[in-house]
Amino acid sequence: MAESTTCRNTAAPAAALAASGRVSAVRGAVVDVVFDTHELPPIDTALWIMLLDGTSILAEAQAHTSERTVRALALQATAGLVRGAAVRVGAGPIEVPVGDAVLGRLLDVAGVTRDGGEPVPAAVERRPIHRAAPPLLAQRGATRLFETGIKIVDLLTPLAHGGKAAMFGGAGVGKTVLVMELIHAMAARYGGMSVFAGVGERSREGHEMLSDMRGSGVLPGAVLVYGQMNEPPGARWRVPLTALTIAEYFRDERGQNVLLLMDNVFRFVQAGAEVSGLLGRMPSRVGYQPTLASEVAALQERIVSVGNAAVTAIEAVYVPADDFTDPAVTTIASHVDSMIVLSRALAAEGMYPAIDPLGSSSILLDPLVVGAEHAAVANEVRRVLEHQRELQDVIALLGIEELGVDDRRAVQRARRLQRFLTQPFAVTEAFSGQPCRTVALADTIAGCQAILGGECDDWQERSLFMVGALDEARAKEARGGSAGVSAAAA
């Protein structure tokens, strides 16, 4: 991200027609364009507003306000724009480059490179960002497990190969860290390619992501598409569509499996609310746009498997004020297969990843999909953890010694399960000093079975904290636990 993504394009594309309109009003990111004829460009058509210095501003037709006036949304900064500026109409919706030429590159919403490298050649194939979802008959159901190597995810919220998983959490509970860890895990396990959409990201996060991908060697098989926090709402609103268009090309034309990562989908909804307000629409529930459901559906329903190739989506979703009943959160949740909920209470206790085992869910956690053993162990883990949560008030008031023998044993096993389901990540190794642990699903199930069966009842709890498979915890226990882990964290 060597240069600001708010830079304007130097010229309109060759596909743009002759000047056929002029700017009649500018209100921030909203621009009214008057045409000399009644033939107005269709909604979502790309418009190029020409400036005196020869550069242009990309905009998108959003409404026909009169017989000759179009209300457009600028996707780039409108500073310096004046009434009377010439407007060229594109041949259709915004088009972005696709194919091998964009691999390893960082692009903006219009497909312009922003990584300081050479621009994408003009001859590269381009595709419109607005496309209909594949017909239902062409879609393929997602039932194959997408193993991540993260214990709590694989056990309690298994991901579908070709499905959609979302991580819900408030500020500072670890959504971005979990997304970056999944990038590492997927690149190491599955190869292939990934597309990352940074929606409303800070420039610091963009630099970190770019440098991490370069350092880990996964950048040549990845495409980064950013709409930064300082850009107009239109750019943040359309960035997921740009990333999805690139992913669809590799799925449809190359037959490749693609991992699509989005951080953060809530900012896509938030940008849509800003756009809705700028266009003068009446707000709906909690101030969101009246088109919230249709906008989210238009994005999510394009993320599907077709033929032998799949687009697997991992999405981070910010939960405003930790309110999981927020309309944006509930709307996004209705489209996903696996719902990973991050808990602020667990993060405060140092239980990372701070995934709430009771609030998280997956439609794949079914004996017909994951097998009877996996489903039985996952349900028993949930039952024990839920029993511990029910007894929390009693423990806080009277202490664990006042519980019955069975309840005390269940609470002790629940605490050991909580610690066993923690795990050091590759992306946090520089800060924690603990090497990454990737655990096979079979080892996770075996470890949980051993704890539930009472094999670890006499172990120190800290022996199970931040380890990989149970064999590592067993070796730790034989050494008397880890002196490096504080009693408070354990």
- Catalytic residues, by residue number, are 175, 201-202
Q: Are 87 and 20 in contact (CB under 8 A)?
A: yes
C-alpha–C-alpha distance, residues 207 and 212, integer Å: 8
Helices (H) and strands (E) in the chain, counts: 15, 18
C-alpha–C-alpha distance, residues 447 and 275, integer Å: 50
Q: Which two tokens stand for residue 432?
A: 């924690």
C-alpha–C-alpha distance, residues 304 and 302, integer Å: 6
C-alpha–C-alpha distance, residues 447 and 465, integer Å: 13
Q: Which single residue is written with the structure tokens 């050479």?
A: 118
| Cβ atoms within 10 Å, residue 328 | 25
Q: Which single residue is written with the structure tokens 């959003």?
A: 62
What secondary structure letter does DSSP report for 287?
G
What secondary structure letter does DSSP report for 121?
P
- Across-strand partners of 413? none
Q: Following DSSP, what letter does each residue of 73-106 receive, concatenated?
A: EESS--TT--TT-EEEE-SSS-EEE-SGGGTT-E
| Cβ atoms within 10 Å, residue 487 | 9
285 residue type, one letter: R
Helix ranges (DSSP H) in 191-289: 203-216, 233-252, 265-278
C-alpha–C-alpha distance, residues 107 and 224, integer Å: 6
Can you say whether the dihedral through the CA atoms of 454, 459, 465, 469 is positive or negative?
negative
| Cβ atoms within 10 Å, residue 376 | 14
Name the 3-class secondary structure at 382: helix
Contacts 24+ apart (CB under 8 A), 469-478: 469/439, 469/440, 469/443, 469/444, 470/420, 470/443, 470/446, 472/437, 473/420, 473/447
What phi and psi, each to the nearest 5 degrees, are found at residue 392?
A: -60, -45
C-alpha–C-alpha distance, residues 82 and 26, integer Å: 7
